[in-house]
Structure 1
Amino acid sequence: MNDLQQLVRQLIPNQDENNKVFTEQKNSAAELGSVFYSGQYRGDQASFRWEPQEKHVRQLIQLDGDKAAKILGALAHKQRLDILRSVLQEPLTGPDLVERLNMGTTGQLYHHIKALVGADLLVQEERGGKYTIPGPRALPLLLLLAAASDLMDTSDYLAMTEARTNAHAYLGGAQEVYDPHLLLWAVVENCILEHLHGTCSEVSLFLHADGSITVADNGRGIPVQALPGSEHPRVQTVLTDMSRLSSSATFLAPGSEKGISMPVVNALSLKLSVEIRRDGRVFQQHYKHGIPQSELQTVGVTKETGTSVTFLPDRDIFGKSFELSMLEKQAEDFAVLYPKLNIHVWSDLA
């Protein structure tokens, strides 16, 4: 909690005279500002309204850390959160919850319900009756879920940070110098899967003078529409969601514990850019250490389809550079394995 408080302090910017979100008061400690909120909850059984509220930021970041952690910890329990989300939709009995959440036994359910009732997050209409969210708790819970949805992508970035910290698990054990070609072959594998699907016949590898490399194919292009329940384009999920290993190509380095997926390539790269050609348009997005530096932008029109990924392996992790001779040798090996796939190697090197 102390780390969170410190982070909030760092995130609050100094504003100029033309953008007075927070003002700096001289001769006193800098005023951190306030959060204003209000709202209304309407359900089938009841309706509750919050009058406008104000919480000083200083008050929020000085909350009792132990108590705040207990609240967040209780709500972070998946089964308890599932119970609350279900009851928010409509009042439900215990058997209703067991069936809806596939919990198997009522004993498992009531263990969590007892905790939620004790915390005043659930009430039961009568013995054996339906459970509901107490009126004063409904809106704060919804606001907390709304805040969680805005912070949802941070779970991906935390996982990518862990991948950087534990790079050896993906790259083949503890070594002094890791081979960046491992990332390259993981990206190329995605092109090969597209080829096996029958939608890719050309792959080009461009080695750049700054040490970065581009892998371009003429496949379908990574989809750009948002997935259900997400505000982010699918390409961002493909490049950042570490939990979707099963739905993406996974290259296994010799001696490694985990496969190298596209999010791993992104996490272990100092910078990465993706360009997608599909639906008559050209889309582009940039990343640094796996974190988006821009929204997915439309930058042109085209009649072509395909994906181009340009990335620069992080030199703090990879002590070697890409070798043109190794690229050419691997392209020859791929030509034997996939005779209908044309792989070209180009270089900006003098």
Structure 2
Amino acid sequence: MNRDYGAELDALKAQLAELDKLVRHIAGLEGKPAAEEATGRAEKEVFTHGSGNGAESCAIYFSGSYRSGDQTVRLEPQERQSDEVLGLNRAKAAKVLSALGHKQRLDLLLEVWNEALTGAELVERLNMGTTGQLYHHLKALTGADLLIQEERGGRYTVPAHRRFPLLLLLSAVSDLIDTSDYIDMTEARNEAHSYLGAATKEGYDLHQLLWAVVDNSVLEHQAGYCSEVGIYLHDDGSVTVADNGRGIPTRLLPQTGQPAVQSVMTKLDLLGDLKTSFVAPGAEKGISIAVVNALSRTLSVEIRIDGSICRQEYRHGIPQSGLMTVGETNETGTTVTFKPNSDLFAGRFDKAAIEARAGELMEAYPGLRLRIQ
């Protein structure tokens, strides 16, 4: 039997055309051009995704699986409406979040996640000074059905039915993890005196931020990688410090998935050791570059490293973009431009004071050249 493939294809095309016509008729798009169809679809999506009172409305879908020993446990696909999620009992939700937000309790949950452990083993692994402190948290977690004990005096583990909710919660937290740095930066602004010493009636001395940034370049010089530093005063009250050092690393950190420079610019405790930070007279803590970022209204950092020029912008310490590659170069170094927060600092940068400081540094480090412009 000989088949006429051409005729069969023509018949199939005709059927598809008829189906398309029917769908367009049902959707109310009959007679509209393709561009208008696309616009209509987009408008329809915009309107159907919002509720009548202007509040966002959406659904969250989730499913998954994980291996426990030689078993694979699967979570059937589930759906939660945003109204349902946002309408949780707030007092109870706060209790759950505060219970899990305790670091030692989170340590306990994660420590027994893959391996059942006894109380004594947990004390040793987590370096807890006393078993009383441990059992206080264990009692709370077991009472909340977040941990179970095999038998009295036995090992602790996370119940199977609690594993998925905890994984989902931690997944959401991983997308919010950087907010912990921004909260710290807000607190730094509220406690500026601990970094800047005593303030005058007009405010704090903004030169302390500049000395801290220049001090990073001096440290790079002491390490043998920086010979020139340029300080540029701008009409808008901002200042730029540019050096020819190695450049702040830009590689992605596996723990956070963020570039290393972002950690340097946002983690207050990363370089918080007084031995590696500039310390203002009368201050309790050293001023790292992250502190400068926290106390500045705007800051941009440009890094010349590995043949590329990379840049990132910040406002009140919060990144306004990812780390962007903006050019190529054979040079290395770091350029930081910042504008001190006018709510904290008074006046403008004093060129004479900066020149005097630069002279002191060049006298102390003969191989380092500082230029003020």
Q: Shared fold (TM-score greater than 0.5)?
A: yes
State the distance in 2 between where 1:192 and 1:112 align: 47
Report the count of equivalent residues: 330
Name the structure 2 match of 1:266. 293
Letter paired with 1:151: L
Superposition CA RMSD, Å: 2.1
Do structure 1's residue 86 and structure 2's residue 86 form an aligned pair?
A: no
1:289 aligned to 2:340?
no
- The correspondence of residues 230-241 of structure 1 with structure 2, limited to 5 A, is 230-241=256-267
TM-score between both structures, scaled by the size of structure 2:
0.83
Between 172-181 and 306-315, the greater mean CA deviation after superposition: 172-181
Q: Secondary structure at the match of 1:40?
A: strand
Which amino acid in the other structure matches residue 330 of structure 2?
Answer: K
Q: How does 1:101-180 map to 2 (within 5 A)?
A: 101-177=126-202, 178-180=204-206
- The one-character-per-residue Cα deviations of 1:167-215 (angstroms, maximum 9, x if unpaired) are 2332222433222111100000001111111111111111122221110
Structure 1's unaligned 5+ residue stretches are 1-15
TM-score normalised over the length of structure 1: 0.88
Q: Structure 1 residues 237, 339: CA separation in 2 closer, same or farther (over 3 Å shift)?
A: same
Q: Does 1:212 align with 2:238?
A: yes
Whole-angstrom distance in 1 between the partners of 2:336 and 2:56: 44
Cα shift at 1:104: 4.0
Cα distance in 1 for partners of 2:290, 2:60 equals: 35
- After superposing the two structures, state which structure 1 stretch, 53-62 or 132-141, moved more: 53-62
1: CA distance between counterparts of 2:129 and 2:236?
A: 57
Larger Rg: 2
Counterpart CA distance in 2 for 1:202 and 1:21 is 58
Residue 333 of structure 1 aligns with which residue? 360
Deviation at 1:148, TM superposition (A): 1.5
Distance 1:18 1:262 in 2: 48
Deviates more, 1:252-261 or 1:335-344: 252-261
Kept after mapping to 2: 8 A contact 1:218/1:307: yes
| Offset, 1:93 | 2.5
Distance of 2:197 and 2:308 partners within structure 1: 39
Q: What does residue 100 of structure 1 align with? A: 125
Quick one: which amino acid aligns to residue 274 of structure 1?
Answer: V
| Whole-Å separation in 1 of the counterparts to 2:121 and 2:248 | 40
Q: Counterpart of 1:277?
A: 304
CA contact (8 A) 2:147 2:159 kept: yes
Query: For the structure 1 residues 276 and 140, does the alpha-carbon distance in structure 2 shift closer, same or farther, using more than 3 Å as the test?
Result: same
Shift of 1:21: 9.7
**Cα separation, 2, equivalents of 1:197 and 1:90:** 44
Note the C-alpha offset of 1:38: 1.8
The separation in 2 between residues aligned to 1:271 and 1:228, in whole angstroms, is 28
- DSSP-derived class of the 1:253 partner: coil
Matching residue's letter, 1:317 = L
Flag the structure with more relative contact order, 1 or 2, with Cα contacts below 8 A and sequence separation at least 6.
1
CA offset at residue 109 of structure 1?
2.4
> For residue 338 of structure 2, what is the aligned residue in structure 1?
311
